[in-house]
Structure 1
Amino acid sequence: MTDISRLVVVGASLAGLRAVEAARKAGFDGSVTLIGAEPHLPYDRPPLSKAFLDAEGDGTAPTFRERAQLEELGVELRLGAPATGLDTDGCVVTVDGTDEVPYDAVVIATGAHARTLPGAAALDGVHALRTVDDAREVRSALDAGARTVVIGAGFIGSEVASSAQKRGVDVTVLEALPTPLVRAAGPAMGAAIAALHERNGTTLRCGTGVRSLEGSGSVERVVLEDGSSIPADLVVVGIGVVPTVDWLQGSGLRLEDGIVCDERLWTGVPGVYAAGDVARWHNPTLQEVQRMENWTAAAEQGAAAARNAIAPAEARPYGTVPYFWSDWYDVRIQFVGSPNADEVVVVDGDPGTSGRWIALYRRGDRLVGALTVNGQSDVMKYRVQIMRGGSWDEALDFAARRRERSRGVSSPGSPVGSAV
């Protein structure tokens, strides 16, 4: 179909797997090599901080495909050794420092790695939760009833706290910022979501920095900036991630909070595309430069990048309305769009008292985001509205009709909601 006969995908992640699958589905019959730093086959990461930690689980890695299935796709697997260099002049990926893999087109899907705390590596019982091996260590500690401290009240840390609470394990969540989840949902809604911890019996302390982790061989306590300490047998550090791009230094790619790409996920270097957590690209749907750390984006971008890589003359822009979800306690939290808004309005329910509520995000005269808590039947309807450029007034009218229908009210004119 093109003069490209060798496709290399760097990163045995969801984005990497979808790139491989999309290339074959598009009719690419050349060689495909999948390079992965971990020894594991591509696996699903979201369950690692959710169902994988449940007491009823068996600790099995949630792989997407068996090895035989990948072999049926004609994929050469190079697992257990990271890519360490990219020569864009010679069109070669270096693996583990010495092994060279030539390419005609390459999709970079190396994702991101967890931020760490100083001194954390010297103590047992301190973990990030990014890989299946991390999750196994955390699960084992929870099985033993470890006193647990989660540092960072983001979605991963909060999911771990929820799993610990369900097991009856003593857990405290620490957040350095005065309000959690500001980047993901905005200040008002971030605070409203974080309040779910206290409502479910989990201690949440915001505006609290960590001075140090202490213990003899294994962690024993977390020392806070105010001098107080919290006893701990298990510390889960969830303070964000860093795009895995160090191996690309000197490659000629533009590296700024990930790999800078255009709307086609192209890096500007011939034959080189990026996808998933590592890609910072111009999203034409929302007219924003974004780097998204969620399952949906990884899957969609991996496929789009591969299609564009194998047929660059036919490359198409990739635009989307971002979508992510998180499960805490008995609550499903879902967000679509962008939290960068001029106004946020709660259009159904009350975040302070009800178990189900919906908030909409306005920028100018457009709907740009929607947050639902236990609103599974509504969230994708708002995603469609954002995708087609729906107006703010249309969104409010739609919300009012949905609210009235759910309450059996047929008369128009009831107040839409409250700004926050």
Structure 2
Amino acid sequence: MSSWVEGAAGSAYDADNLPYGVFVREGEEPRVGVRIGDFVLDLAPIAAAEMLDVHAVFGEPTLNEFLAQGRPVWDSVRTWLVGLVSDETERDLVEPNLVPLDEVELRMPFAVGDYVDFYASLDHASNVGRIFRPDAEPLLPNWRHLPVGYHGRGGTVVPSGTPVVRPSGQRKGDDGPEFGPSTRLDIEAELGFVVGTGTTLGDSVTADAFADHVFGVVGLNDWSARDIQAWEYVPLGPFLGKSFATTVSAWVTPLAAFHHAWVDLPGQEPEPLPYLAPGDTSGLDIDVEVVLNGEVVSRPPYSAMYWSPAQMLAHLTVNGASIRPGDLFASGTISGPAPEQRGSFLELSWGGTEPFGDGRTFLEDGDEVVLRYTAPGTGGGRIALGEVRGRIEPAR
């Protein structure tokens, strides 16, 4: 079903997409909106006029109150929204509340609670293993048995467009530890999953309950200082090499928009343990573009990922760790089997030994990286996730 909104029909932001974000106009408070075409639909006044029970959540400066409402409310609001933008009889109500995108500033769409980053790509994990352990098995013994992950820093998750300051830290030098700005600054093209309904401490989420707890999806760039990371990560894993910035898209695409994008996983061998085996182990047919200073340098396919989003959530909570509205977990770097499908510069340059593009290995000051995502929509075309954009500023 297409929208009557000017320019929306047949676009990547038609009525089958409708991602949520938070916007602000000059002199006004930030509040929740939905993207349709090149407009933001201001939800608060329309929901109040139509006396929706949850109208107050759309006047909030983050999506968190809406996320907490749960799947039945998310689905009913989506049905209402599709009707608003596709039914011509709603035009008089809706049109005054359509705001051109170029008149608004987009804010961080949700307040991040806990942030967990996984390592769910077989191709990425294998490439990294070959780069750093060329004479050993690429995968460590646990990798095919569980979704490996680490807890990140929620306070440094920022919205698309936020500048990224080159981090400083310790790294291994020829004569011992050195301190200074990272010289091996990298990207990781990922997908992020935004939690809606939370759980009680001690409870877990089964794989088949994924859609009851996850509201939607964001594009995500897990910026990485490889030299700092390499020196610090043994024995406890990533720390300062990751915690300085993680960028997410300003739009959260609801799971309902991906109804036609679910695909089978490439296959898992050996069979996972029972808590990871049942339920929805589907992957997602999402294409990614990595753009460096205007040039596409890689096209990673999310459909190649080994571990599914449902399995990641099941593993995250199997020990009784609770989740809350606004929690975020990410897929880890998305990489496919082909060289042009690698989702990090570490892989594209094979550890800095094989320059790519215009002779690049790692990020330089002034570089701008944009991640773009598309998926099959329910209307027969393709929908777009919000882009993830960041420019590198010199170390301070």
- The TM-score bracket by the shorter chain reads under 0.3
Q: Tell me the TM-score normalized by structure 2.
A: 0.25
Higher Cα Rg: structure 1 or 2?
A: 1
Q: What is the TM-score normalised by the length of structure 1? A: 0.24
Structure number with higher helix proportion: 1
Greater relative contact order structure (CA < 8 Å, 6+ sep): 2
